[in-house]
Amino acid sequence: MNKSIILILFVFIASFSFAQKETGDVQIIQDARIDTLLSKHKALNEYNPDIEGWRIEIFFESGNNSKRLAIEAQSEFIGKYTETPTHLIFQAPYYKVRVGDYRTRLEAEEFLKRISGSYPNAFVVKDEIDFPKLGKTEVERDGYE
């Protein structure tokens, strides 16, 4: 008698544990202000797409010919490393040439080692960078494809 009661109780509990219906309908309830915040966030990112990152400064000079020398240094670098973005910057009284858009200091240091033979005085600086384009392998790896 005890065994049959336990068996009936077990069957009764088991039937309720699988009683959920799988309809696939999900209702999301959220405050309307969230959409407003998301719109403002998108607008700010479109207005200022820069993020904090790292660049390598390969040239800085002040003086009468500093702009011409900076443009020459930038052109020379572009000739050697066509895939790396370059940036001509004026911060009074210096003209500077910075290269790369690196998200981490480690990435910048790796590239600095590659160019240190041609640019022995180059160094890594923290800067506002353009948002780097994600390569296909990064997109696949992060599961965004």
The reported pLDDT for the residue numbered 19 is 54
Contact partners, residue 62, CB within 8 Å, separation at least 6: 93, 94, 95
Phi (first) and psi of residue 72, to 5 degrees? -65, -45
- According to the model, what pLDDT value does residue 49 have? 67
Q: How far apart are CA 51 and CA 74, in angstroms?
A: 23
pLDDT for the residue numbered 108: 95
The confidence score (pLDDT) of residue 10 equals 72
Q: What is the CATH architecture assignment of 51-129?
A: 2-Layer Sandwich (3.30)
Looking at residue 139, its pLDDT comes to 45
Q: What does pLDDT average to in each consecutive run of 10 residues of the chain (145 residues)?
A: 74 65 77 89 77 94 93 96 94 95 94 94 92 58 47
Domain ranges of the chain: 51-129
